[in-house]
Amino acid sequence: MKRKLMICLNIMMILLILMGCQEKTSPISLAGQWDLESITSIDEGLIAVGRASSKYHEFDGQQKDLIAIFSEEGTFTITGSEETMDGVYSDDDKRHSLDTIPIKMRFDYGIETLGVIGVRQYEDGKKVNSLTFTVDDKIYSFIQQTDD
């Protein structure tokens, strides 16, 4: 009986070790096109919506068609406003989970910020990748463009 118990414990330990050694891989890729969902001011609330927002056609405020394009080489460009904003990014693959990845963004004009990409799931079960970061007291929210 002791022998069977020891064999079972050894098998369980081996399984736990193997499961613990698996590398976390996220289904999220930052590379590609991201469409603006909204810009929210920390003081004023929602100030603009983009094409990725379900409120785009009925919103009384500003409508902005910003697009963020992230490369696999660690650069990004945000276009569609008065100016183009370029920069570099890096993800922190040591601190990510299966559905979120923190990223560091540095704009060419000197501003640095932290952002997060993650999987957003709606009540109907639909999942989308989202990107959120803050610059100049404004929270930018983007949705990743998909082929769906």
Region for 92 from its dihedrals, namely left if φ exceeds 0, alpha if ψ lies in -120 to 50, beta otherwise: beta
CA distance 122 to 18: 33
Q: Output the pLDDT for position 2.
A: 53
Tell me the pLDDT of the chain averaged across its residues: 80
* Structure token digits, residue 119: 């999987």
Which residue type is seen at 88?
V
122-140 mean pLDDT: 89
Q: Which fold has domain 27-144?
A: Lipocalin (2.40.128)
Q: Looking at residue 23, what is its pLDDT?
A: 46
pLDDT in the model for residue 123: 86
Residue 91 scores a pLDDT above 70: yes
Q: Is the model more confident about 43 or about 83?
A: 43
Q: How far apart are CA 33 and CA 29, in angstroms?
A: 11
When mean pLDDT is compared across 28-32, 38-42, 86-90, 102-106, the lowest value belongs to 28-32
Specify which residues 45 forms β-bridges with.
41
Using DSSP, state whether 11 is helix, strand or coil. Answer: helix
Residue percentage of the chain with pLDDT more than 70: 75
Residue-wise pLDDT tens digits, 44-89: 899 999 989 888 888 888 888 899 999 999 999 999 877 788 999 9
User: Can you give the pTM of this predicted structure?
Assistant: 0.76
Q: 34 with 131: CB under 8 angstroms?
A: yes
d(CA 21, CA 15): 10
Q: Which CA distances in Å does 90 have to 54, 115, 140, 148?
A: 30, 10, 18, 27
